[in-house]
A and B are shown apart, each in its own frame.
Chain A
Amino acid sequence: MAGPLQGVRIVEMGQLIAIPSAMKWLADMGAEVIRLESVQRLESYRTDSLYHNDVEGEFWNRGANFYEQNRNKLGMTLDLSRDEGRAVLRDLLAVADVFAENFTPRVIKNFSLEYEDLRKIRPDIIMVSSTGYGFDGPWSNFGATGPATEGAAGLAYMTGYKDGGPVMSEIPYTDYTAGEHTVAAVMLALMHRLNTGQGQFIDVSQTQTCSATIPEALLDWTVNGRIRERIGNEDPAMSPHGCYPCAGDDRWIAIAIDSDEAWYALCRVMNRPDWAADERYSDVLLRIRYREELDKMLGFETRSHDNHELMAKLQAVGVAAGAVLDSEDLLFNEHLKQRQFYEIVEHHPDTGMPPLPYAGRPWKLSATPAGAPKAAPIMGQHNREILSGLLGKTEDEIEALKEDNIIGDSPLTPRGVRRPSLDEQVRQGRMQRYDVNYAEQVRDWFGI
């Protein structure tokens, strides 16, 4: 049996990450997710980060981000700007348990897809809307990105080096925060429906989900009137605590000393009995007082160590330490391999892509594990299956939809984004480095 959510059907009108990532995790666990897109409006995740950086042919079926966010879904194209498209959507909604979307409320209202509209089609439907700032209010129709909501929520302001401005990671971080909360929200709604037979409307504000995860700073303001400033990698209660350079190009280790025992263990591993003997570092308050000089001393010592070897030595004596893993380290990681975290996904033969590993989920359920993963759909892959099999449309009806470009299997105006050569990307600093024999390494490590 694959996943606890078998029998749950979700219609997804999603884009980018916030809704697609959430619906992917529900699909992993057994829900049938029908993902809508259109041949009129090509999603940017189908056009960017292409396999082999190749914009020729059907490149829209080779986008890394699309595959990453849409595993295990059925794919259907539908032009919702026209009545015929919306009529098909209504048919789908009549047999759906959940409708999930992350467009602005303006679009949803224009398409008459608000919760009250949906209830008329399916009284117990669960609708989940994921927006940057919420479905109502003065900013509700403002489009948003992950970085924008990380900024609006208060998280970005506090993140950064001690002597500099706010810093963001290289991913749209809060898209995932919203997605993770959306999974919980849909599960809550499914539980409520089991109890009562009632559907409902879920309004996810990405900003609110992020603010919900930074109560320390928000309450410090509401209760104590204090604004938390940027402190880099420091921790108010630990020292040494930071990210220290190691041997090699751009190699680092994170170390967190959370007790006196850990401090003395660190001194032993670094072979610095003089640090251990120094009264000035003998308890945490003193180590916090001398934080800057400790960080400098420790950073000088770590330079001559391999970060993975040093991590193993420190962990062996109970010190919280972690090599800063780059993407290659992360992919070829023995712990994650034994956990079967990466899953091998076979791509549609038309793509010419080999089977590749993708990150799985952060949970394992013992009795109802996820099933074998299926690749994200190529464009329009399941049009026929859904229209004919699920909705009972005739061949003529399907042909008519195709004729009018209501459905289709390729974009009307394809525009791929070719990234600069890898040498140029490395020169610009977009990439750290690249391997030419990566495909072989991936095959060998994962036994593909």
Chain B
Amino acid sequence: MTSGALAGVKVIDLTHHIAGPYATKLLADFGADVLKVERPGGDPGRRLPPFFHDEPHRDRSLPFLYLNTNKRGITLNLKSDEGLAILMDLLADADVLVENFAPRVMPSLGLDAETLREHNPRLVVASVSNFGRTGPWRDYKATEIVEYALGGLMYIFGAYDREPLKHALHQAQFKAGTNLASATLMALYHQRLTGQGQQVDVSIQESIASALRDVTNNYTYVGAVRRRQPNHTGDLTRLRAVSDGYVLPNPGIGASLDWQILVDFLEAPELDDPRFENASARLENAEALGEILDQIFAIKQKQEIFYAAHQKRFIYGVIDSPAETIGNPQIQARDYYVPIEHDQLGEITFPGAPFLMNKSPWAVNSTAPALGEHNAEVLGALGYDAQHLAYLTASEVI
């Protein structure tokens, strides 16, 4: 008999868009009881493209459907007294409240962490915001690209002589969401041991800035400022174009590489040259090496060189499109993609468990809620009758 790791954990989820919902998805997919509380107009994440069959509809945004699995959903106007009263009722026996409003919003609603914990001392109040809940940039506006710029990842991302780049899609949001889940779980662990709730403050900017290898350290260690890389580089692990796509060569680990094995593997006698014979020499002659490597790789084939490399235990990688990654034999063998039946839309194939836990497995038991889907069920359990629900609906509280 297995159950989710968070069986019995009750989460009130005020989050919207991506970062917060990804955190609560991680909690919900591992067993927490997550109640998603949306404004009556709905989570703006319901407008995130792409849509199911390109039909814009508040219940058909594909990222929304992914981000809100296993959650029940109600609507609540937190700017109304009745809405706030209902929220406080819901929080009375909750373990966690998660929110990703701008930092000034919760206090302006009278929902600052201190008030909330007076109401329920066990409550973990978990927040994620662009720049954290304190500091001079607290109220700065940000979107994904601004987080890349101010988190320090963008400056070292892209071609040397072109504008810096960001990743495709919404990596900063997902990164912060993952960190929010981790930090919330740490606070929850402490709550289970001591009964004490607390406040969790996650910053999206810091989520980027704390995951940069050898960036600020290059400055503190030698005074150097890193930059994007030139087109020709002898970095042996640089992405290279092959005849039918792209590969990531990697002949193994740093200083201990036996160069001759690499020369033989690439069938490239021109690399058998004292300029390249050890790691320090290769760094000195990086540009010449890079040009030769570009030519060598241009005539290779992606799958062929990838498998041949792994025969030699070189740790090569491939660049796969979404279609290719879904068809990848390893990913298929692990059944990563899972078909999930949606009562309106039929079967949809979703990315599945980010990690496998053998005793408390990841599972999707319900699809994302339609807007207000559980209003009657949840408010009914709080003691509101049909007549009162009608009044709340008419007065746009729900």
Contact = CB atoms under 8 A, between A and B. Distances in A.
Contact of A213 (B171, B190, B216, B239): B171
B221 A177 contact: no
B105 to A, nearest CB: 15
B6 interface: yes
B315 interface: yes
A294 interface: no
Interface string B49-66: 110111000000011011
Contact of B225 (A132, A135, A243, A432): A432
Contact of A254 (B26, B146, B356): B146
A421 B359 CA distance: 53
Interface stretch (A75-83, A157-165, A384-392): A157-165
A285 interface: no
Interface string A124-164: 00000000111111111011110111111111111111001
A432 B226 contact: yes
Given A166-B319, A212-B351, A215-B350, A419 B283 contact: yes
B67 interface: yes
A241 B149 CA distance: 13
A185 B349 contact: no
A207 to B, nearest CB: 7
Contacts of B85: none
B175 A429 contact: no
A339 B66 CA distance: 33
Q: Chain B interface residue count: which class?
A: 35 or more
Contacts of A25: 182
A429 B156 contact: no
Contacts of A167: 157-159, 165, 239
A313 interface: no
Contacts of A426: 224
Interface stretch (B260-268, B331-339, B370-378): B331-339
Interface stretch (B34-42, B76-84, B129-137, B385-393): B129-137
B252 to A, nearest CB: 8
A422 B200 contact: no
A120 interface: no
A246 B187 CA distance: 43
Nearest to B49: A236
Interface in A35-60: 44, 47-53
Contact of B143 (A192, A218, A320, A442): A320
B355 A64 contact: no
Interface in A207-258: 207-209, 211-224, 226-228, 230-233, 235-238, 241-245, 250, 252-254, 256, 258
A220 B201 contact: no
Contact of A330 (B209, B241, B279): B209
Given A203-B356, A211-B325, A327-B218, A180 B182 contact: yes
Interface in B213-241: 213-230, 233, 237, 239, 241
Provide the main secondary structure of the chain A interface. mixed
B322 interface: yes
Interface string B316-360: 111111111110111101101100000000001111111111111
B164 to A, nearest CB: 5
B142 interface: yes
Given A134-B330, A219-B63, A243 B153 contact: no
B189 A4 contact: yes
Given A188-B5, A335-B136, A235 B354 contact: no
B137 to A, nearest CB: 4
A243 B168 contact: no
B335 to A, nearest CB: 10
3 closest Cβ contacts across the A-B interface? A148-B317, A438-B223, A187-B185
16 contacts: A49-B221, A68-B214, A134-B356, A143-B310, A171-B215, A176-B211, A208-B351, A213-B178, A230-B168, A322-B142, A322-B147, A322-B149, A326-B225, A357-B216, A362-B176, A363-B183
Given A341-B209, A365-B187, A429-B160, 10 more contacts: A156-B239, A166-B246, A201-B358, A202-B356, A222-B349, A224-B54, A238-B143, A327-B215, A341-B210, A363-B183
